[in-house]
Amino acid sequence: MKNLRDEDLILRQVKRIHMIGIGGSGMCPLAEILHAKGYALSGSDNNESDPLSRVKALGIPVAMGQRPENIGDAQLVVYSAAIAEDNPELVAAREKGIPTMERSHLLGVLTRLYDNVIGVCGTHGKTTVTSMITQILLLNKMDPTAVIGGLLPLIQSNGRVGQTENMVCESCEFVDTFLQMSPDVAVLLNIDNDHLDYFKTMDNLVYSFHRFVSMSRVAYVNGDDALAVRAAGDTKARMVRFGMTPDNDYYAQAVCVGKKGYAFDVMHKGEKLCRMEMQIPGRHNIMNGLASFAVCYEMGVSPKGICEAVAGFTGAGRRFEFKGTFGKGFEWADDYAHHPTEIKATLSAAKELDYKRVVCIFQPFTFSRTALLFDDFAEALKLADEVILTPIMGSREVNTYGVDSADLAEKLPNAVVVDGFEHIADMIEERYEKGDLVITMGGGDIYKVGHILERRKV
């Protein structure tokens, strides 16, 4: 039995829940799980989105815009981290004495309802590995509950409710939200310099991951990442390492580039367990495949079952997701990359493929990240043949940094700033043709450019 917190008792006492920002990528899967468990839900949001469409399809009433009356007779109000303290619905709930709970706390409560929670953390790759583990377990009749930061094509959703004690959760370090969880298994993919507006120093960031791993009984750790190994050290968790060299417990050998991704032998203490053939581009996905293999193999899934499931995995939504051919014949792909390391990985993978030009449509996400990692963004974006930048999407922030997309464009050899998704769609339909790969990229709503392209194609 896991140690209960105050929030656990609240959820056991209520039946009617209102969710502010219900269409967010983090809120949507929680709504799906609560709905499946029989809670009466309502929600509100300010923007139409793909996750919001899935919520509405469940029959959950959603109000567009936020007003005090939207909370109705809710017994609990849940809100996402992006919701301001003066949000009218949040204010109304507190004035009425209705309990409120931030989204990460709700996820924490849900993790204490399961006996085998797999928490996937790290600066990069969380959504891909959470999705891959979910797909492997699903196709091998392990029936997991899942909370994913992106859409898994196999289930066409961010989340699902299983009938076993297995739960797979994407576990984000942003403002220490993952410390609300109670993982039994931790998967630590890597540690990179992100969210330093909150953590301030790399030591603080590493310590936060250390605290997360400390809550688990077993930790699967990238043995080639010194900071990850450091974070996982000095805990009671059994450490299992994966990486590219034989000093790891699970490692890759005989690596080669396939048609759509890398293929390699999965090795365990000198023994070849299977040949894994991936359908997602990028060398970084070798590590993601190894991490997923190690977790599922030690849960009892056969090597054959794992590799067959991975062979059918074409990526999570918005993770180098090919969307089709448009305009004069260019191909469009969409990617969530919003950190320089992720941008570099995605563009490097794209450059390995057989295209004349790789064009990056990048929407910088948050002023703080753009300012703090400005030079790194410039270096990563130089990998593209051409770059189209949108204005910075501030999300929850005010631009106190004095940074602008035009500043970034000046650092690039072939870049322009274009405001308005319709204008961007006009430009790429006019400029690009067969043999070109256009990638929309960013952590905001840049994917809507693709929706415009799809609408025009009909």
Instruction: Give the strand order in the sheet containing 16-20.
Output: 62-64, 40-45, 16-20, 76-79, 100-102
Q: Is 411 a catalytic residue?
A: no
* Active-site residue, selected from the candidate residues 32, 126, 177, 341: 126
Q: Angle at which helices 27-36 and 103-111 pack, to 10 degrees?
A: 50
* Active-site residue, selected from the candidate residues 127, 128, 130, 177: 127
Q: Is 170 a catalytic residue?
A: yes
Q: Name 421's Cβ contacts closer than 8 Å, sequence gap at least 6.
A: 390, 446, 448, 449, 452
Q: Is 38 exposed, middle or buried (0-12, 13-18, 19+ CB in 10 A)?
A: exposed
Helix (H, G, I), strand (E, B) or coil at 327: coil
Q: How far apart are CA 130 and CA 181, in angstroms?
A: 15
Q: Name 9's Cβ contacts closer than 8 Å, sequence gap at least 6.
A: none
- Candidates 101, 121, 109; CA nearest to 212 is 121
Helix (H, G, I), strand (E, B) or coil at 166: strand
Q: Is 100 a catalytic residue?
A: no
Structure letter (DSSP) for residue 69: G
Both tokens assigned to 59? 């029959």
Both tokens assigned to 424? 């961007």
Structure letter (DSSP) for residue 26: T
Sign of the alpha-carbon dihedral angle for 312, 317, 321, 326:
positive
Q: Name 256's Cβ contacts closer than 8 Å, sequence gap at least 6.
A: 262, 263, 264
* Active-site residue, selected from the candidate residues 7, 32, 89, 170: 170
Helix-strand-coil split of the chain, %, nearest 5 = 35, 25, 40
Catalytic residues: 126-127, 170
